[in-house]
Amino acid sequence: MTYEGKRQRPPSFAVIILFIVAFVVACVLLGVIAYLNRSGPSSRPPAPRTVVRLSGDGTKNTESFHLGGANGVTWFATDKSGVGCEHRAILQSTDNIASLAKSLGYGLVSKDDSKSYSNDLYLASTDYYVAVTSTCSWTFTFTPH
C-alpha cells in the first residue's frame, strides 16, 4: 500500500510579508518602550530650589551640587596676591554631558581689587560642579528664580 499524502507548499508571499511586518512592529515597540524607560538628566526629579554657595582659592573642581530650572549665578573674584589675578569658570554636569556645560565667565582682576559677574541660566535638572581655573580667591552663588 502506498501513501500519497499532500505535499506541503512553501508559505505564500503574503504570509512572509505578514511575518516581516509583525517583526518590524515588535522592534519599534521595544524601541519606544526602551526610550520611555531611559534614565538620564531629563528623567531626574526637579531640583530642590535652594541657594548654592561655593568658595575657594585657585584652580580646582568644586564639590557637586544639584541644580535645575532658572537660576541666577553671581561670582566674585578677589586678588589677594598683590599682583592681580585671572579667573574663569565652567559649570559642568557630573556626567560630563558637553551640551550641559555653561561658561560662567572670565575676568582679569587688578592688584588688590575684586571683580564680579552675574548671569541668568536655565539648566537641566541634574548634578553639576564648577571647574574653576583661577589665581584668585573666588565665590559663586546660584540663586533659583
Same-domain pairing of 25 and 76: no
Residue 62 phi/psi, 5° resolution? -75, 170
* Rounded-to-integer distance, Cα 70 and Cα 144, Å: 6
Domain that holds residue 22: 11-43
Same-domain pairing of 39 and 50: no
Neighbours of 20 (CB within 10 A): 10
Q: Which of 15-24, 35-44, 86-95, 125-134 has the lowest mean pLDDT?
A: 35-44
CA distances from 87 to 62, 72, 75, 138 (A): 15, 19, 10, 8
- The single residue listed with the C-alpha cell 557630573 is 94
Same-domain pairing of 109 and 75: yes
Looking at the domain assignment, is residue 5 inside a domain?
no
Identify which of 139, 143, 47 has the alpha carbon closest to the alpha carbon of residue 89. 139
Q: What is the pLDDT of residues 113-126, one digit of tens each?
A: 999 989 999 999 89
The whole model's pTM is what? 0.65
Strand-pairing partners, residue 105, are: 89
pLDDT at 91 over 70: yes
